[in-house]
Amino acid sequence: MPRKVRKKMKAAGRKPAKQVAKLRAKRPPPKTAKRTLPRPSAKPWGEAGRALAGVRILDFTHVQSGPTCTQLLAFMGADVIKVERPGSGDITRGQLRDVKGADSLYFTMLNGSKRSITIDSKHPKGKDILDRLVQQCDVLVENFAPGALDRMGLTFAHIHKLNPRMIVASVKGFGPGPYQDCKVYENVAQCAGGSASTTGFRDGPPLVTGAQIGDSGTGLHLALGIVAALYQRTRTGRGQRVLCAMQDGVLNLARVKLRDQQRLKHGPLTEYSQYGEGIPFGPAAPRAGNDSGGGQPGWILKCKGWEGDPDAYIYFITQAPVWGAICDLIGKPEWKTDPDYATPPARLPRLRGIFAAIEQWTMTKTKFEVMEICNKQEIPVGPILSMKELAEEQSLRATGTVVEVDHPRRGKYLTVGNPIKMSDSPADVRRSPLLGEHTDEILRQVLGYSEEDIAAIKSSGAITAPDKPAKAEAA
């Protein structure tokens, strides 16, 4: 570099290129991702903010599958803004209604800790508001029928253009394929996902389960996808689409049955009681009644009081390492050494008789007595707990798994809190919102509309039901 230029640069306070290169070389190496993490918080556990604080969700969900997902995210601290149709809202507000004039438990137990805004998504002004919400949110969650979101104009391309960081998460009944356009409810998914064909007794029809594995199960899958996409976004800076098909979610939960389907090629499923009964297997994994899904035989047995109480039963597992303790307990010590009973393979064809003998013992005790006696001996058993018993179980209240919340229209009700316990993010379980309860608040605080703007929006009909003033939404 000519001396003249060097002098000029020095005068201007700039360093010549060579010097810059030298200084750069002396700089410490760039920090690794790990080093750029904030220092561990010194705040007491649970006081450092909730896990998803700062995440804002545009919640376009309804019925059960989507709301399960967004409620869980709300329990973890996300600001969930539920968009509902003016006048009626989520259809479940009025379904299975038990208290006149109040939102149903169907709705209240799936929409806790959320805010509600009413927007007519097909009204031009409503579309404007939605576009602004898209710009202010991190995640859009929806479980409309296939194509409904696109018909509202909220295609992924449109959303991505407005907010490239937006994650768009959807529940659909089926993934791409022959059934992709079908509308799907819980039991359809249980049937299409392999649960119903493998649930029930071999000589009876397929059965659906009480646990909502199609709806709530898929909502859980979606929540995981959203959290993973939020994490990936910290590296890529962009959002993505997350899709959970209910058929896929159910099949994932029925994974062990696809395992059994493949085992069939190599011989009978010896842990199924049908094997012990000498009944041949067909081409598909059969219904296994109450057989245990694992390698340890189990069955549901009657307990004291079964004649009058439909839940006086216990699940009893004849786990191999505690076989001796079981024999002593039921008064069959000779089975410990009898070659017909001493080993798990010898017992397999005799399971029906074995469980009948154990039942003779369990019928002399309540399910809780069986539980207490067996647990002391490390014999795995599970009492069949009714919903009444679960609602009254104090340990579930203490852990926040069952929570009582107060609602302005229906009074106190029980809800299931966050089943995922986090030591630094206590669950935020609050009542569900009234229809449109937070419309004004969201328009003002989140979207920055002025009072005049809000008045104009109200008179446009974009956030109110036809012929109803905005206030009526919350009334």
Q: What are the C-alpha distances in Å from 120 to residues 89, 91, 137, 157, 158?
A: 10, 15, 18, 21, 18
Residue 63 touching ligand COA (CB under 6 A): yes
CB of 94 to ligand COA, least distance (A): 13
Binding window for ligand COA (CB under 6 A); candidates: 35-43, 181-189, 358-366, 447-455: 181-189
Annotated catalytic residue 215: yes
Site for ligand COA in 427-446 (CB under 6 A): none
CB of 414 to ligand COA, least distance (A): 21
Q: Which is nearer to ligand COA, 83 or 379 (CB)?
A: 83
| Site mask for ligand COA (CB under 6 A), range 135-154, x = bound | --------xxx--x--xx--
Residue nearest to ligand COA (CB): 145
CB of 308 to ligand COA, least distance (A): 36
Q: Which is nearer to ligand COA, 64 or 273 (CB)?
A: 64
Count, residues in the chain = 475
**Whether the Cβ atoms of residue 419 and residue 459 lie closer than 8 Å to each other:** no
Binding window for ligand COA (CB under 6 A); candidates: 61-69, 100-108, 257-265, 409-417: 61-69
Size of the site for ligand COA (CB under 6 A): 24
Given 215, 248, 260, 440, the catalytic residue: 215
Q: Which is nearer to ligand COA, 190 or 273 (CB)?
A: 190
Residue 121 touching ligand COA (CB under 6 A): yes
CB of 250 to ligand COA, least distance (A): 12
Residue 190 touching ligand COA (CB under 6 A): no
Pairing, β 411-416 against β 402-407: antiparallel
Residue 464 touching ligand COA (CB under 6 A): no
Binding window for ligand COA (CB under 6 A); candidates: 114-122, 221-229, 295-303, 419-427: 114-122
Residue 346 touching ligand COA (CB under 6 A): no
CB of 174 to ligand COA, least distance (A): 9
Q: Which of 84, 90, 98 is nearest to 64 (CA)?
A: 90
Residue 172 touching ligand COA (CB under 6 A): yes
Binding window for ligand COA (CB under 6 A); candidates: 34-42, 115-123, 408-416, 434-442: 115-123
Binding window for ligand COA (CB under 6 A); candidates: 15-23, 118-126, 133-141, 317-325: 118-126
Residue 468 touching ligand COA (CB under 6 A): no
Q: What are the C-alpha distances in Å from 295 to residues 53, 292, 317?
A: 43, 7, 10
Considering only 59, 120, 271, 291, the residue that binds ligand COA (CB under 6 A) is: 120
Structure tokens at 63: 């019925």
Binding window for ligand COA (CB under 6 A); candidates: 167-175, 292-300, 393-401, 442-450: 167-175
Site for ligand COA in 68-107 (CB under 6 A): 83-85
Note the residues at the interface with ligand COA (CB under 6 A): 63-66, 83-85, 119-122, 143-145, 148, 151-152, 171-173, 183-185, 215
Q: Which residues are known catalytic residues?
A: 215
